[in-house]
Amino acid sequence: MTKQSHAFQAEVAQLLHLVTHSLYSNKEIFLRELISNASDACDKLRFEALADASLYGDQPELRVRIAFDKAARTLTVTDTGIGMSQDEAVAHLGTIAKSGTREFMARLSGDQKADAQLIGQFGVGFYSGFIVADRIAVESRRAGLPPEQGVRWTSDGSGAFEVEAITRAERGTSVTLHLREDALEYADGWRIKELINKYSDHIALPIQMEGEKWEEGKEEGQPGQMVKTGEWETVNQATALWTRPKKDISDEQYTQFYEQIAHDWQPPLAWTHNRVEGATEYTQLLYLPSHAPFDLWDREKKAGIKLYVRRVFIMDEAEQLLPRYLRFVKGVIDSADLPLNVSRELLQESRDVRAIREGNTRRVLGLLEDLAKAPAAAAPEPAPAADDAAVTDVQDKNEAQAGDKYATFWHEFGAVLKEGLGEDAGNRERIARLLRYASTTSDSANVTLDDYKGRMKEGQKAIYYITADSLAAAKGSPQLELFKKKGIEVLLMTDRVDEWSLSFLREFDGTPLQSVAKGAVDLGDLQDEAEKKAAEEAAEAVKPLIEHLKEALKDSVEDVRVTTRLVDSPACLVVKDAGMSLQLERLMRQAGQAVPAAKPVLEINPEHPLVKKLEGNPHFDDLAHILFDQALLAEGGLPQDPAAYVRRVNALLV
Ligand code: ADP
């Protein structure tokens, strides 16, 4: 029989180095990862066997066994799952198939703790064995292949691995770790049991260990010792957590289960666990993570929902079970109604899936509302839908420090939730009540639209907002001057999705939303008659100036007009009411999108000394361009010809 040597894919070698070095202080996770792989392998067999029962062969049992040998310093995890062929062993244990590896590598900071977190999210799985082992031997046979087509894979984790064909009587895989000197504690029954208890209690398969008993020394004076009994005992709960009554599940168990399914070592913010009985029957266990994953903005990222049908694992990342704007939610759905052979394509058309998706959406929004503790009067529950009414056995984990938790949630995932305004018209009202923004009265994003409405001035007819790149740019924008003077609150929006998402929220609770950078300013009843009259007179007086400016800037602006919105600045740029804001235009250009070239409107403040000096000035043309370029700068843009701008300013300075 020939042994073949293969080099690890470069990424694997890099990852191995990283895993062994940065996870050093968190050694014990290797066992969780190996058991999780073993359990996945059993799930895969169960799933493939739905179509071909002969894959079970003469071994109907699916289980994981853990053996150790103190003298030989080994620990072995054996499963009766799907197994691997020789080609699969080379491919799966020598390369990283998952996309995003490079991004993951790029995000590593060198800070052990932070990197360990990232690795957890990424799921290093099998390779974590090398944290505790200086050599790993894997023996495997794929279900359905004859015993002679087994494979042995060995490596010391340094750069290469070897594979050879073996004869293996049993289907499935065994992974043997040759423990390092400093990891001998894992060749111990108590220690292993402790770890199973901690990490793998809810694996829905029996995890077995050989029983041990104490044997006294045979002769006087000889010490006693633990000896194996030869009987395999199941050491975990071996039931799927979500099927147990919630009163029997502790917070700690919920948290551990989350860590296991989400590969996240930080406890979740909150969860909701319900059995829904109605037109379609299912159990939902949904978690809100406490921090965003590194690939939250990956457009391809799928929802973190595992789908089971009557406890049989069907698929990971069942994206049909949640709308995209809730893609940060992790959890498990176990359906009683879907067929076991359901495919992703079938999921798309299934009415049951649609009902589950709507149920999940309602439940997550409800959980968020609880966390946000929206005042009851301001957030009337929509009439419960049919299957909501039949929910039994509800547990929402959210009592403690709900407010803080919502702030954390919003900081991590608020920008994603905002996508829901566009994506989910049916729940737009509920989502709108969950929104939080900074404003001219609050630097932190904690102002709700209800708060804002409650503080509106008498006679104020709109909710005003401004979009900008940063809080500083928003706060300093000339467009806000009149609002500040009048003491009118303006919401400050700095997320990229803000403007797009608000295009779907024209009004909130009967009050229109109005960008302060769009259209002519009309504060209606907030301006008194004297002010209006003064403005009209000023406009009349500068009519010739306006015409001159229009002429000088005709290539850059759509129009020039007098405004009352400015107090301290000479000019600002606005777009027409229906137009795209300059901010959105910039974002779209950055994203490589073609944007129709709409020119902005230049508004001038006739009271400003600079404006007063314009008419008849020998430098009129330069000043006009500077006025325009500065208005662009003030709202976060750049002059079209920065060098020309600098030249003009310098000429005047000299
Ligand atoms: P992940 O499990 O996240 O895909 P791993 O590095 O843990 O990543 O494992 C890589 C691949 O090796 C798995 O996807 C699987 O195909 C295969 N594998 C690992 N352990 C087993 C096992 N016990 N039985 C069968 N296949 C396995």
Can you spell out the DSSP letters for 437-497? EEETTEEEEEE-HHHHHHTPPTT--SEEEEE-SSHHHHHH-GGGHHHHHHT---EEE-STT
| Ligand 1 touching residue 130 (CB < 6 A) | no
Cα of 173 to ligand 1 centre, how many Å? Answer: 10
Query: Region 253-266: what's the mean pLDDT?
Result: 86
For residues 63 and 39, the answer to whether their CB atoms sit within 8 Å is no
**Region of poorest pLDDT, from 100-104, 127-131, 628-632:** 100-104
CA distance 514 to 466: 9
| Pocket mutation for ligand 1, best pick of 12, 34, 40 (most atoms within 8 Å of C-beta) | 40
Q: What is the predicted pLDDT for the residue at 262?
A: 85
For residues 201 and 256, the answer to whether their CB atoms sit within 8 Å is yes
For residues 388 and 359, the answer to whether their CB atoms sit within 8 Å is yes
Nearest to 95 by CA among 7, 8, 4: 8
| Ligand 1 touching residue 84 (CB < 6 A) | yes
CA distance 441 to 491: 9
| Ligand 1 touching residue 211 (CB < 6 A) | no
| Ligand 1 touching residue 82 (CB < 6 A) | yes
| Ligand 1 touching residue 284 (CB < 6 A) | no
Cα of 127 to ligand 1 centre, how many Å? Answer: 10
179 exposure class (CB count in 10 Å sphere: 0-12, 13-18, 19+) = buried
The DSSP H or E segment spanning 363 is: helix 351-372
In this structure, how many other beta carbons lie within 10 angstroms of the beta carbon of residue 383? 7
Cα of 37 to ligand 1 centre, how many Å? Answer: 5
CA distance 587 to 637: 11
Which atom of ligand 1 sits closest to the CA of residue 33? 7
Q: Which residues pair with 315 in a beta bridge?
A: 307
Instruction: Locate 453 and state its tokens.
Output: 């409405």
Task: State the distance between the two ends of the chain, measured CA to CA, in whole angstroms.
Answer: 87
Alpha carbon of residue 181 to chain centroid: 39
In degrees, rounded to 5, the angle at the alpha carbon of residue 280 between the alpha carbons of residues 276 and 284 is: 35
Residue where the block lists tokens 């018209």:
425
Instruction: Locate 474 and state its tokens.
Output: 């928003």
Cα of 38 to ligand 1 centre, how many Å? Answer: 8
| Ligand 1 touching residue 41 (CB < 6 A) | yes
Instruction: Locate 154 and state its tokens.
Output: 């060995």
List pLDDT tens digits, range 449-494: 999 999 999 888 899 999 888 898 899 888 898 899 889 999 999 9
List pLDDT tens digits, range 522-563: 676 677 777 778 778 888 888 899 999 999 999 999 899 888
Predicted TM-score (pTM) of the model is 0.73
63: pLDDT strictly greater than 80: yes
Cα of 199 to ligand 1 centre, how many Å? Answer: 18
